[in-house]
Amino acid sequence: MDIRSADRANSLEEHWMPFTGNRDFKENPRLIVKGEGMYYTDHKGGKVIDGSSALFCSPAGHARPEIADAVHAQLLENSYSAPFQLGHAGQFELARKVADLLPEPMNHVFFVNSGSEAIDTALKMVMAYHRANGEGQRLRFVSRERAYHGVNMGGVSLSGMVKNRETFPVVMPNVVMMRHTWTGKELFCDGRPQHDGVELANDLERHCMTYGGATIAAVFVEPVAGSTGTLVPPVGYIERIREICDQYGILLVFDEVITGFGRLGAPFASQLFGVTPDICTMAKALTNGCIPMGAVACRDEIYETVTDAAPDNAIEFFHGYTYSGHPAACAAGIAALDIYEREGLFQKAAELAPYFAKAVMGLRSHKLVRDIRTIGLMSGIEVHPGAAPGIRGQEMQKAMFWNGCHVKFTGDTGIVAPAFIATEAHVDEIVDRFRYTLDQFA
């Protein structure tokens, strides 16, 4: 079909889709017309189980009426008010609720509209802190190979994924990379690998030795690297990173855009690993994916240092977005966090995790499967590459959709991460459809 000559009312051409093969998609679109609980309905009437909580956004499942009602009521009450020099109750309530889920002393929350904005905000928060603290010479940032920190220019600068940066070479200077944590020594690992944690984390110390620890502003890590295909940090890794940061006065930023809000069975990865960062980014499940929203939380000391450094009545942090803390997003966030608490969803995720791990590991004997990594309700099922890296993954994602299951692939790794409302039967259904699709490609 020549889609350019198609009836304009049904044309797909005008929308330039993100992270999508536009030409291919528009030849054979996959449109979602409805979402409810664990399932989508596609435009041909097919039922599709959601194996990835959309993009790891919807722990409470799709189309929750409690969230829809809260947003509806909010839009009738106050549909929008400026976030600079004005406030509304929802911002403060949601900030308190988020702070309650974080470890002490992370009690200050700055609202943004996405994970990418959270990362750029965190970069600026780090700079503002060091400047206010009399350490403006800390201008170097440390990130990691295979890192995904969103797509704004700050996040691209920290990115360790080649496709996300090779087209956009004008990025922040002074970013150095640690090695990623997948060594290939421990394949089919359920939980944290046992080896090399301290050795890999010592990359940070090597950067301190090479560049001078006092020139490094912050290190950004995803506690579990998500978008690159679920790389679980080895035992001792996160702990050692924290130790080095403390030794050299470097701020530790956890990017919890995927791991935040229960994905690993604890509210945040920091509680699971027993390591508290200085700054933490989050988004996605903050509103159960219903309204775009992200946030950056920080320790008291960071907030107080930045705010105390400015003269009385002055704006302390020259940063913010028109839609920071949008009333509708706050209403969605409050309603989502209420559901998580009322239904004990983080606990449910923790309880389902062992069954989930066993079920996905059931695919290990398939000849197409190269590795499986799993923690909490998040796994990476990596297949051997086809003609070129990523091609088989793309094809599998499409085929799996028509086989009745949505799984987000990154390269050749399918990231299975169901909603926390999933039952064992849902997990079985997702894994069965994955296996069926593997068989089609074998």
Nearer to ligand PLP, 121 or 202 (CB): 121
Query: In sequence order, which residues have a C-beta less than 8 Å from that of residue 428 and are 6 or more positions away?
Result: 359
| Least distance CB 387 / ligand PLP (angstroms) | 27
Q: Residue 26: in which H helix or E strand, if any? A: helix 22-27
Residues within window 264-283 making contact with ligand PLP, judged by CB under 6 A: 283
Please choose, out of 111-119, 185-193, 296-304, 306-314, the segment that lies near ligand PLP by the rule CB under 6 A: 111-119
Please choose, out of 43-51, 142-150, 352-360, 425-433, the segment that lies near ligand PLP by the rule CB under 6 A: 142-150
| Least distance CB 267 / ligand PLP (angstroms) | 16
Cβ neighbours, 10 Å, residue 280: 30
Amino acid at 357: A
Query: In sequence order, which residues have a C-beta less than 8 Å from that of residue 335 and are 6 or more positions away?
Result: 64, 66, 67, 69, 70, 71
CA distance 109 to 417: 26
Query: In sequence order, which residues have a C-beta less than 8 Å from that of residue 314 and are 6 or more positions away?
Result: none
CA distance 223 to 243: 15
Assess 116 for contact with ligand PLP (CB under 6 A): yes
Q: Which of 59, 61, 90, 115 binds ligand PLP (CB under 6 A)?
A: 115
Torsion of CA 18, 24, 26, 28, to 10 degrees: -130
| Least distance CB 151 / ligand PLP (angstroms) | 6
Given the structure tokens 């190269």, which residue do they identify? 370
Residues within window 145-184 making contact with ligand PLP, judged by CB under 6 A: 148-150
Query: How many residues form the binding site for ligand PLP (CB under 6 A)?
Result: 14
Q: Which of 42, 196, 203, 222 binds ligand PLP (CB under 6 A)?
A: 222
Residue 159 DSSP one-character state: -
Q: Which of 226, 327, 376, 418 binds ligand PLP (CB under 6 A)?
A: 226
Q: Which of 257, 275, 286, 360 binds ligand PLP (CB under 6 A)?
A: 257
| Alpha-carbon Rg for the chain in angstroms | 22
Q: Which of 119, 244, 334, 349 binds ligand PLP (CB under 6 A)?
A: 119
Assess 238 for contact with ligand PLP (CB under 6 A): no
Nearer to ligand PLP, 113 or 202 (CB): 113
From residue 320, give the alpha-carbon distance in Å to each of 305, 325, 344, 427.
Answer: 18, 10, 33, 40
Q: Which of 258, 335, 360, 407 binds ligand PLP (CB under 6 A)?
A: 258
Say how far residue 228 (Cα) sits from the centre of its chain. 11
Nearer to ligand PLP, 213 or 333 (CB): 333
| Least distance CB 155 / ligand PLP (angstroms) | 6
Tokens in use for 130?
A: 């060091």
Residues forming contacts to ligand PLP in the complex (CB under 6 A) are: 114-116, 119, 148-150, 222, 226-227, 255, 257-258, 283
